[in-house]
Structure 1
């Protein structure tokens, strides 16, 4: 492990089919006014909404509901939530849903007591909160983003269609607790399940494909990827397999709670490319990542051949003896692509409504980061988008 780093994660996790039983004790730590944030009708259809409302009432909470948070939460929706939360003088925000609901709730937490425009402050200038942050708790219903145990919040601008994520440095933005019950994930449509699986996988890749030292983080990443591949195949064949779904849920959390990023520069360009596609098409996040991944990794592989060789051998069990680094790298990417097709992921951006006339705007909207094996030029970004069509 090279370099110097700090690791702190204050989020308390409750995992398992009895995990909701811990909500009463957690709610007792906060004031009486609670903003309950959730998405569409799934939490009501499943009965989870009624359970949570019952617990909130039992705990004597005044509840202000912010419903209808969409898969790619918008600035307009954030502003609507800010008004509701301010009117209710909320002491606590309870997110019930998937990563988008958790992301939205954290963006709300740093905006409720802030006088500045949240888009300009957090997503244009990338400033840190200078106001009191409302604490957040999460009840997760869809694994994928790891948002239940990190400080990230992605918001899409309604007008420009820019989709931007801000990973806050302040630990107070991170959820105080997260309830992870794998049973809540069993009602997800299969397409959402596999999109979440690839989101998890790519979170690991974004951290793994960086750096050249012998890093413990890479060994952890390889173990997480192998576990996810194994469980994904079981869940894809039998979506109701509790053990597989529980392992997927647990892997999702550890894929992006900052543990495996320690000692790494990290890449995140697949996410930057995917966000540009998602902002313009409103496509499912995990699918946008899948659709740009092969084009991106094929492009940068020559600049990080040793790690791509290791990826083939240690993640996909490919016998790389006698292969050149390039041959091994290509074999690893081919194995990844075959697995993605097996799951039924989108392999081209055109499958998501992305068209050739969107390429230039998407390139304009792609934030260029410098932690991976190749810092992309605008021309390279355009070429990757064209290849992904």
Structure 2
């Protein structure tokens, strides 16, 4: 492994069917005022809301609710959450939901006491936090983002046609997260498979970088193989606990900063996908699936050795009698077949993108330099055209 790094992850995880009970151990560590954040109300239908509220009341907490967090949290919603947090002097933000809810909770945590416009400070200028941070806890109900154990927070500004993620430091990581795989059983199929591909994309964004013999690559190959195996089971039987528990754990490890160590990382699929989301408000995982194949086929010649390794070690492609290019290409073909099998979006046209949007989407795609090819705006447009 090359380079120098420090690894620390302060989030305490509780995992399993009895995980929610550990909320009782965490709550006494914080003051009485809790901001309960959740999405569109599915947690009220499946009973999770009642369980969480009962535990909060048992512990004498004063609850303020911030409901209606959308799949792509907006800057307007962020301002609303900041106002609620300040007015109610909250001591703890408890996010109950998927990655968007957890992302939003972290955004509120750093923005509530920001003396400037947090969109300008944290998402445009990408500055670090120098104000009070409200601690966050998460009860996860959908997997994909890994937001339960990292500092990432993505916010959308529709007026500016921008969707931007800020990866904050460990002072913004959730203090604790509760992961019960059974809580993910009622997620609609479309959202479930979008989450599966989000996990895969997180791993690939880190895997397709670097040329050294890196332990992180071996870890990621194992995570990918486990994800492919378990997701195929979950698509056929969404309530298979073993499969859903494996996927939940993979999602956490895919983006809790462990496997990025010693890697330069790529993240161009996310930059392009997020820009697509800013124009369409499409589900995040689907924006990633819709542009991934065109992107990876574009950069494959520049990272051929890694794409060959990916084909052999992850997809089981046999190398005998084939050129490196043929092996790498077959690996991407197997990836495409898997994507069609689980039912993710295969093109941006089906997400609502039109030809007229392509130049704006390209301009809204931040160009990253850690992968095998630093793209030009013209190359991004070509990738988008090939993704239509």
User: TM-score, normalized by length of structure 2?
Assistant: 0.99
**Matching residue of 1:136:** 136
Where structure 2 has 5 or more consecutive residues not aligned to the other structure, the ranges are none
The alignment partner of 2:36 has SS state of strand
Task: Tell me how far apart the structure 1 counterparts of residues 100 and 107 of structure 2 sit (CA, whole Å).
Answer: 10
**Shift of residue 84, structure 1, vs aligned partner:** 0.6
**Matching residue of 2:299:** 300
1:330 to 2:329 alignment:
yes
The alignment partner of 1:347 has SS state of coil
Task: Tell me how far apart the structure 2 counterparts of residues 92 and 178 of structure 1 sit (CA, whole Å).
Answer: 13
**Shift of residue 325, structure 1, vs aligned partner:** 1.4
Where structure 1 has 5 or more consecutive residues not aligned to the other structure, the ranges are none
1:23 to 2:23 alignment:
yes
**Matching residue of 1:76:** 76
**Shift of residue 190, structure 1, vs aligned partner:** 0.8
Task: Tell me how far apart the structure 2 counterparts of residues 251 and 121 of structure 1 sit (CA, whole Å).
Answer: 32
Contact 2:27 2:59 (8 Å CA) reproduced: yes
The alignment partner of 1:260 has SS state of coil
**Shift of residue 240, structure 1, vs aligned partner:** 1.3
**Matching residue of 2:55:** 55
Task: Tell me how far apart the structure 2 counterparts of residues 197 and 28 of structure 1 sit (CA, whole Å).
Answer: 35
Task: Tell me how far apart the structure 2 counterparts of residues 322 and 204 of structure 1 sit (CA, whole Å).
Answer: 29
**Shift of residue 41, structure 1, vs aligned partner:** 1.4
Deviations 1:162-208 (A, max 9, x none): 10000012x11000010000011000111111000000001000000
**Shift of residue 353, structure 1, vs aligned partner:** 0.5
- Superposed counterparts of 1:91-102, under 5 Å: 91-102=91-102
**Matching residue of 2:174:** 175
**Shift of residue 324, structure 1, vs aligned partner:** 1.4
**Matching residue of 2:319:** 320
Contact 2:206 2:265 (8 Å CA) reproduced: yes
**Matching residue of 1:159:** 159
Contact 1:145 1:196 (8 Å CA) reproduced: yes
**Shift of residue 239, structure 1, vs aligned partner:** 1.0
**Shift of residue 121, structure 1, vs aligned partner:** 0.2
The alignment partner of 1:360 has SS state of helix
Deviations 1:314-354 (A, max 9, x none): 00011112221111110010000000000011100001001
**Shift of residue 161, structure 1, vs aligned partner:** 2.4
274-283 or 155-164, larger mean C-alpha shift: 155-164
**Matching residue of 2:238:** 239
Contact 2:123 2:166 (8 Å CA) reproduced: yes
**Matching residue of 1:103:** 103
The alignment partner of 1:173 has SS state of coil
The alignment partner of 1:387 has SS state of helix
Deviations 1:234-282 (A, max 9, x none): 0111111111011000100000001000000000000000001011000
Contact 1:76 1:158 (8 Å CA) reproduced: no
**Matching residue of 1:263:** 262
**Matching residue of 1:43:** 43
- Superposed counterparts of 1:144-155, under 5 Å: 144-155=144-155
1:220 to 2:226 alignment:
no
Task: Tell me how far apart the structure 2 counterparts of residues 158 and 385 of structure 1 sit (CA, whole Å).
Answer: 20
Task: Tell me how far apart the structure 2 counterparts of residues 376 and 325 of structure 1 sit (CA, whole Å).
Answer: 23
Task: Tell me how far apart the structure 2 counterparts of residues 206 and 364 of structure 1 sit (CA, whole Å).
Answer: 21
**Matching residue of 1:210:** 209
**Shift of residue 225, structure 1, vs aligned partner:** 0.0
Contact 1:316 1:335 (8 Å CA) reproduced: yes
**Shift of residue 378, structure 1, vs aligned partner:** 0.6
**Matching residue of 2:14:** 14
Deviations 1:268-322 (A, max 9, x none): 0000000010110000000000000000000000000000000000000111122
Runs of 4+ in 1 over 6 A off after TM superposition: none
1:115 to 2:115 alignment:
yes
Task: Tell me how far apart the structure 1 counterparts of residues 190 and 329 of structure 2 sit (CA, whole Å).
Answer: 27
**Matching residue of 2:366:** 367
Task: Tell me how far apart the structure 2 counterparts of residues 305 and 156 of structure 1 sit (CA, whole Å).
Answer: 35
User: TM-score, normalized by length of structure 1?
Assistant: 0.99
Contact 2:158 2:279 (8 Å CA) reproduced: no
**Matching residue of 1:339:** 338
